[in-house]
Amino acid sequence: PGAPPGPPEAPHTSPAVIETVTSQVLAEPAQLDASGQVIRPATFRTETRQEIVQPRQEQWIEIPCPEMMTPDFIRTIQRALTARGLYRGPVHGQMDAATRKAVQRYQAPLGLDSGTLTLASARKLGLIAVAG
């Protein structure tokens, strides 16, 4: 009640992508004599820091209605993922960890690293009719 019309949505948080950067920083410059010959070479120190390459992202994704997630529909999801070589478990109609992992493997190349099936993925798998 009170929800906007349209498909339900679920929150999805993509973790930040952090990169470790290592660099050499001049600690002490080289010492030269009057003729420019190196008396003592420069010394460097290694500095390591972490940088956020991509910040954490929070978004809402459209998902199939809870009423659609019947054991029959979940078996259809499992069969579709099996046909694509992403699911190797039993076709039992339960949205278990193995099924969610297969959904995640399917959706990751599409830009969503989530085990929650989206409407877009369900349509792409041919499980839901495309409106239009």
User: How far, rounded to the nearest angstrom, does the alpha carbon of residue 106 sit from its chain's CA centroid?
Assistant: 11
Q: Are residues 62 and 120 in the same domain?
A: yes
Number of domains in the chain: 2
Q: Are residues 61 and 112 in the same domain?
A: yes
Q: Which two tokens stand for residue 132?
A: 């239009």
Residue 31 sits in the same domain as residue 83: no
Query: Residue 100, SS3?
Result: helix
Asked if 98 contacts 82 with a C-beta cutoff of 8 angstroms, the reply is no
* Domain housing 36: 17-54
pLDDT of residue 5: 62
Q: Does 1 map to a domain?
A: no
Interval 88-107: pLDDT, tens: 999 999 999 999 999 999 99
Q: What pLDDT is recorded for position 24?
A: 95
| Band of pLDDT at residue 21, cut at 50, 70 and 90 | very high
DSSP at 121: H
User: Mean pLDDT for the chain?
Assistant: 90
Domain identity same for 68 and 38: no
Predicted confidence at residue 11, as pLDDT, reads: 79
Question: Which residue type sits at 64?
Answer: P
pLDDT of residue 98: 97
Note whether 32 and 67 are same-domain residues. Answer: no
Phi, psi of 94 (to 5 degrees): -115, 135
Query: Is a pLDDT exceeding 70 seen at residue 119?
Result: yes
Q: Model pTM greater than 0.95?
A: no
CATH of the domain at 102: 1.10.101
The reply to whether 49 and 89 lie within a common domain is no
Q: What is the pLDDT of residue 113?
A: 86
Judge whether 8 lies within some domain.
no
